[in-house]
Amino acid sequence: MNKKDIGILIVDDEPSVRNSLSKWFEEDGYRVGSANDAADAQRKLQEGRWDIVFLDIKLPGMDGVELQKRIKEIDPHIITIMITAYASVDTAVRSLKEGAFDYVTKPIDPDYLTHLVNNAVRQQQLTIENIQLREQITKLHKFDEIICESSQMEKVLELAKMVAPTDTTVMIRGESGVGKELVARLIHANSKRRYFPFVPVNCGGMAESLLESEFFGHEKGAFTGAEYQRKGKLEMADGGTLFLDEVGNVSMKTQMDLLRTLETKQFTRLGGNKVINVDFRVVCATNKNLEFAIEEGTFREDFYYRLNVFTIFIPPLRERPADIPPLAEHFVQKYAISMNKNITGISDEAMEMLKRHHWPGNVRELANAIERAVVIEPGPLLRKEDLPIQIVQKSESPQLESLEAVEKAHIQYILEKTDRNISQAARTLKIDRVTLYSKIKKYGLK
């Protein structure tokens, strides 16, 4: 890294400290800026990128410790170094607990200062590398959670590996819990963007305004409560992969904004007018019937075509029972290790039960069931009795002979498939909502 690419911001109300430190670092070749109070500092932090911030503990208005906390909120990777007088060393030590890199006592020994900044720069580069490394580790970890023996999953992985090195937009479809994000990470890990971030956004279960700010970020004061500038996920994904999970839940307006960004590779933060250029690959996932949503008018057709370039469908777990034993064994091992329990495997009876279960929640449900079982089983084998009760009931997979039982099971299935969206479930079942409600009540399908 070139020194002129490293920005050092000096925040101190004393002009002599600002000037002398600025000059010292300028002569060293760094890009230097200064601010005389917290407000000025926050403005500077929003206007440009700073890697290292020197902060006087005592500032007029907001004190340095508080400001350092805010800086960490804006960007946790900024390195903060507190400047203190002898009298305020205690405060400085406290700021270390809040995440400050170090503190210096005025006046500073020049050699110490030089080393401190060198270390800070090294630390910063390490942080960047660490993030990439950590991500790689999770990727590897996720990698081996894609455990499969079924030909269906082999096919999925083959497709993922094939499309990964291209920059094509990928849509991953399948019920919730089948492992769509794992496949998305696999694609990212095998793409040329792997050294840049993989940024997942869960589009489900977030208010529209929040989701918008999640995507685009916002400038200070963009809306009530937006006290500081915030970087959005689009900006964070620059160079890497943006993973839009549950993309079917994005509102029509946000779909339009996203579509525009995908087409122009440009956007502005909420409440701002500075154009920000981004370059990322999009991988999205949905468990919804988007074609149906288009017909229904809740999903934009142009957005759909933009996303649906290359589709990978992950079949539900119940359709690939061959994957259940290796997955189950894998989870037993994983949870036994993390809970430090001596459980070596699964009894035949229990395995039979697992294989017969319908698994509406797919791999995620299987993982949860096994985690729970590992908690209660003393060892050495996981037994049928350890498995959550719902499984037992369902795996008995009983009297489906009666029409009522079939109806109940089918409504249950559609409800899960539509993410318990009553209107959609009613439409799929071709009954009205009132009827559906009464049936839900009748069968106790909460």
Partner 1 sequence: MSKVRGILKQIGSFLSRLRFERQLVRRIQRRTVTQEHLTDADSLVFSQTVQESIESRKPFISIVPLNTVPDDVLQRLERAISRTLDIETEITPPLDLAFAFDSSRNQYNSTVILTRLLEILPDGAFKILGVTNVDLFIPILTFVFGEAQLNGAAAVVSMYRMENELYGLPRDERNLQDRLTKELFHELGHTFGLLHCDDYDCVMHASTYAEEIDLKSDSFCASCYEWVSSILADK
Min dist CB 143 to partner 1, Å, is: 41
Min dist CB 107 to partner 1, Å, is: 5
Task: Give how far the C-alpha of residue 110 lies from the chain's centroid of Cα atoms, to the nearest Å.
Answer: 42
* Cα–Cα distances in angstroms (integers) from residue 427 to residues 174, 359, 414, 441, in the given order: 20, 24, 10, 18
Ramachandran angles phi, psi of 72, nearest 5° = -65, -30
Question: Toward Zn ion, which CB reaches closer, 115 or 253?
Answer: 115
Reference 199, options 246, 248, 236; nearest CA is: 236
Question: Toward partner 1, which CB reaches closer, 20 or 119?
Answer: 20
Residue 23 touches which of partner 1, Zn ion, none (Cβ within 5-8 Å per kind):
partner 1
Question: Toward partner 1, which CB reaches closer, 18 or 218?
Answer: 18
Question: Toward Zn ion, which CB reaches closer, 114 or 266?
Answer: 114
C-alpha span between 191 and 208 (Å, rounded):
31
Task: Give how far the C-alpha of residue 4 lies from the chain's centroid of Cα atoms, to the nearest Å.
Answer: 32
Q: Is 111 an interacting residue with respect to Zn ion (CB under 5 A)?
A: no
C-alpha span between 5 and 49 (Å, rounded):
10
The residue ranges that bind partner 1 (CB under 8 A) are: 14, 16-17, 19-21, 23-24, 26-29, 83, 106-111, 113-114
Tell me the site size for Zn ion, rule CB under 5 A. 1
Min dist CB 16 to partner 1, Å, is: 4
Min dist CB 119 to partner 1, Å, is: 14
Min dist CB 8 to Zn ion, Å, is: 16
CB atoms within 10 A of CB 201: 22
| Crossing angle for the helix pair 89-97 and 64-74, to the nearest 10 degrees | 20
Residue 109 touches which of partner 1, Zn ion, none (Cβ within 5-8 Å per kind):
partner 1
CA Rg, the chain, in Å?
27
Min dist CB 43 to partner 1, Å, is: 23
Min dist CB 27 to Zn ion, Å, is: 5
Q: Rounded to a whole number, what is the distance in angstroms from the first to the last CA of the chain? A: 57
The answer, yes or no, to whether the previous bond of 107 is cis (omega within 30 of 0) is: yes
Residue 114 touches which of Zn ion, partner 1, none (Cβ within 5-8 Å per kind):
partner 1
Min dist CB 127 to partner 1, Å, is: 23
Residue 270 touches which of partner 1, Zn ion, none (Cβ within 5-8 Å per kind):
none
Residue 138 touches which of Zn ion, partner 1, none (Cβ within 5-8 Å per kind):
none
Residue 19 touches which of partner 1, Zn ion, none (Cβ within 5-8 Å per kind):
partner 1
Question: Toward partner 1, which CB reaches closer, 31 or 269?
Answer: 31
C-alpha span between 359 and 388 (Å, rounded):
12
Residue 28 touches which of Zn ion, partner 1, none (Cβ within 5-8 Å per kind):
partner 1
C-alpha span between 355 and 318 (Å, rounded):
8
Quick check: 242 and 233 in contact, CB under 8 A? yes
Question: How open is the CA angle 443-430-440, to the nearest 5 degrees?
Answer: 15
Residue 61 touches which of Zn ion, partner 1, none (Cβ within 5-8 Å per kind):
none
C-alpha span between 42 and 40 (Å, rounded):
6
What are 9's strand-pairing partners? Answer: 33, 53
Question: Toward partner 1, which CB reaches closer, 54 or 299?
Answer: 54
Residue 110 touches which of Zn ion, partner 1, none (Cβ within 5-8 Å per kind):
partner 1
Restricting to residues 27-66, name those near Zn ion by CB under 5 A: 27
Min dist CB 303 to Zn ion, Å, is: 56
DSSP SS3 for 442: helix
Min dist CB 14 to partner 1, Å, is: 8
Ramachandran angles phi, psi of 108, nearest 5° = -95, 140
Give Dmax over CA atoms of the chain in angstroms.
Answer: 87
Question: Toward partner 1, which CB reaches closer, 14 or 73?
Answer: 14
Question: Toward partner 1, which CB reaches closer, 113 or 234?
Answer: 113
Environment class of 282 (CB within 10 Å of its CB; exposed 0-12, middle 13-18, buried 19+): buried
Question: Toward partner 1, which CB reaches closer, 15 or 398?
Answer: 15
Residue 293 touches which of partner 1, Zn ion, none (Cβ within 5-8 Å per kind):
none
Question: How open is the CA angle 9-15-18, to the nearest 5 degrees?
Answer: 25
Question: Toward partner 1, which CB reaches closer, 83 or 203?
Answer: 83
* Cα–Cα distances in angstroms (integers) from residue 194 to residues 131, 141, 385, in the given order: 12, 15, 44
- In the bound state, the residue with its beta carbon closest to Zn ion is 27
Q: Which residues bind Zn ion (CB under 5 A)?
A: 27
